[in-house]
Amino acid sequence: MNNRAAETPRHIALSNCLLCAERLSKFYPDGRVQALDDLSFHIARGEYVAVMGPSGSGKSTLLNLLGALDRPTSGEVYFEGKPLAEFYPWDRFRCEQVGFVFQSFHLLPALTALENVQIPMLETRRSAAERKATAEALLELVGLASRRDHLPQALSVGERQRVAVARALANNPPLLLADEPTGNLDSAAAEAVLDLFARLHSERRLTLVVITHDSALSRRAQRLLRLKDGRLIADEPAGGNGPASRR
Amino acid sequence: MRSALTIAGVSVAVAAVVALVGAVGSFERQLLAVFQNRGIDLVVAGATTVQRLQSSLDEDLGRRIARLPGVKHVACALIENFSFPELDVLGVVVRGLEPNSFVLDEVALIEGRKLEPGDSDAMLIGKVLAKTLSKRAGDQFELVPGRHFRIVGVFDSFNLLESNSLVVPLAALQDLMDRRGKATVFMVVAADSSQAAVESLAAQIKPLAPNIDVLPARQYVDSLIEVRLARAVAWFTSTLALIVGTIGVVNTMLTAVFERTRELAVLRAVGWRRATIVKMILFESALLSMIGAAVGCAMAWLLTQLLRLTPTGRLISGEIGWDVVAQGCVLAFFVGIAGGGYPAWRAAKLLPTEGLRHE
């Protein structure tokens, strides 16, 4: 168990720590449903972490808090040692520091793969030519250069998810958060996505936090966080390469 | 389909603005041109008459005005409106003028002759009205039952209003309308057209009779109840159409925001600012409205051509000024912004976590 009753530091001094959750709790608006209960952990820069737990254990809520999509009822998330509150407005934080991958891909159906990848870049000062070049390079990276002008419905589900990964990397964020990224994929497509994650982790030193029910995915991560009823019940090394973070 | 209907709604609103406001504007411009193109500096009309075209002034006032220093010409006019339902022609302006009036000096005759002193049953007819009534010089025209006039000349005019009018001797019209010695307006040309001289002349004319207004042509046209009513009706109708158009845009954009909730949530999740979402929704609604404006202008042109086929449509020039088109486009743009405002606010308020759960 990693719940800590220690005093919450305003600035976390651990230089290698990218994300730090300190005593996170989340109640939903009626105040009766507690999705997270006093969660604390650190994630080091470049770490590959899987989060597992039964439905309703608070996994997606945790991901929302780590990605500044929602705010905790109490506790604090620190990013590079600073509380997320200091990064407000969070739109910019999400734009520059976080890439999201969703179970249902959430690509815009009217846009081609190339255009979908450029969406996060529209909030930056990059020129149209730069945006296009970056998107092309990212589609190349995920092995979809030849599918760049296809609409999502013309792509297989596995290809859609790889486009979504390319979109998540558009602004070169240090952190990638994925919510059940292989949940809608067949085993071959899931394997391709997991290979991609592994490459991103090893080659780009990307920090990955992946929610999953997929034990194959969790085995590829370096570290596994297990949740149950909104509580962290285990923080243990998984089967992946590289050192697990130290608290 | 929904967007097409919204475009249709906005285009009807813009068509109403462009066609109705444009038609009224064109009528005003032509009326003003009647005075300005003859160098008329002042118009003298009854002050207390709600409908100035029915004002009744003593003809003798014209002679007293003419005696004032600084007056170059004075024309006395009795103006009446006639309709000929059996000929399907309504609202024909008949002007009673003295045959030697300066107003008739530059009449461009295309057939026959001008009015001459001593004419009692002679009539000039504008070219467009002559064509509508199939009349030419030498024909008889029954102005009121039992009272025939002989058409002595057909004249052309730069002005559609004049080209659709009849001119008869002042005395003949006074007799016909039982308004002997009466006039509707006096048109005054000053010897010196500078503003100071005209203002000074107006000040001299004013005391010559009780309850008269002495106005520059622009002000006189603006003061006509017919013009003001037409303007008010045109704007009222247009405003209603614009409100309906705005409601259409609100409905379409709200539905679009609802249907695209998850899409908007994704955009927020990947870092789009609220302001960017607002701009995107407003851009979409403004684009819908501007497409509506383009279609509306085309519809307005068509509507104007159709209006010209109505019994009073002879007075509509059929030309649509760029100023009115610009007015319609600006209003359409504001319809887009107003119609998109609330949906954009709703979209910006959306929490990404809620939106991503939306089915």
Q: Highest mean pLDDT: which of A115-119, A185-189, B4-8, B32-36?
A: A115-119
Q: With CB atoms and an 8 Å threshold, state whether A102 touches B351.
A: no
Q: Residue holding tokens 């406001």?
A: B21
Does the distance separating the beta carbons of B271 and A69 come in below 8 Å?
Answer: no
Q: Is the CB of B273 less than 8 angstroms away from the CB of A92? A: yes
For residues B293 and B304, what is the distance between their CA atoms, to the nearest angstrom? 16
Phi-psi region of A241 (alpha: psi -120 to 50; beta: other; left: phi over 0): beta
Q: Rounded distance, CA A155 to CA A162, Å?
A: 10
- C-alpha B202 chain-centroid distance: 27
Q: For residue B276, which residues of chain A lie inside 8 Å, CB to CB?
A: 122-123
The average pLDDT across B303-320 equals 69
pLDDT tens digits, B77-117: 999 988 888 888 888 989 999 998 888 887 888 999 999 98
Is the Cα torsion angle B204, B207, B208, B214 positive or negative in sign? positive
Which residue out of A95, A105, A106 would a mutagenesis test of the B interface target, given it has the greatest number of B Cβ atoms within 10 Å? A106
**Other beta carbons less than 10 A from residue B131's beta carbon:** 15
- Which regions of chain B does DSSP assign to beta strands (E)? 42-46, 57-58, 71-84, 89-97, 108-112, 122-126, 140-144, 147-156, 166-169, 182-183, 185-190, 212-216
Question: Across residues B182-186, what is the average pLDDT?
Answer: 92
A46 alpha-carbon distance from chain centroid? 12
Give which of B36, B109, B18 is closest to B292, Cα–Cα: B18
At A11 the pLDDT is 46
Q: In Å, what is the CA distance from A173 to each residue of A97, A205, A242, B2, B271?
A: 4, 11, 21, 39, 12
d(CA A116, CA A114): 6
Q: How big is the CA angle at B8 (ends B5 and B11), to the nearest 5 degrees?
A: 155
Contact between A64 and B353 using a beta-carbon 8 Å cutoff? yes
**Partner-chain residue, chosen from A64, A70, A167, that has the shortest CB–CB distance to B270:** A167
Q: Are B130 and B123 in contact (CB under 8 A)?
A: no
Q: Which amino acid is at B4?
A: A
The answer, yes or no, to whether residue B266 has pLDDT greater than 90, is: yes
Q: How far apart are CA B162 and CA B315, in angstroms?
A: 9
User: Distance (Å) from the C-alpha of residue A226 to the closest C-alpha of chain B?
Assistant: 22
A129 phi and psi angles, rounded to 5 deg: -65, -40
Residue A233's closest CA among A225, A245, A241?
Answer: A225
| Contact residues of B toward A, CB < 8 A | 262-263, 266-274, 276, 351-353, 356
Q: What is the pLDDT along chain A (247 residues), one digit of tens a residue?
A: 444 434 444 444 455 789 999 999 999 877 678 889 999 999 999 999 999 999 889 999 999 999 999 999 999 999 999 999 898 889 999 999 999 999 989 999 999 999 999 999 999 999 999 999 999 999 999 999 999 999 999 999 999 999 999 999 999 999 999 999 998 899 899 999 999 999 999 998 899 999 998 887 888 899 999 999 999 999 988 866 544 443 3
- CB neighbour list of residue B8: distance below 8 Å, 6 or more residues apart: B292, B295
Whether residues A91 and B268 touch (CB distance < 8 A) is answered with yes
Closest in A70, A89, A119 to B270, CB measured: A119
ipTM score here? 0.86
Nearest CA in chain B to A61: B353
Both structure tokens of B292: 């509506």
> How close A213 gets to chain B, by Cα (Å)?
19
pLDDT digits (tens, 9 = 90+) for A17-27: 899 999 999 99
pLDDT at B124 over 80: yes
B1, B69 Cβ separation under 8 angstroms? no
Q: Residue A224 and residue A218: Cα distance in Å, rounded? A: 7
For B201-230, how does the pLDDT look when each residue is reduced to its tens digit (9 = 90+)?
A: 999 999 998 888 899 988 888 888 778 888
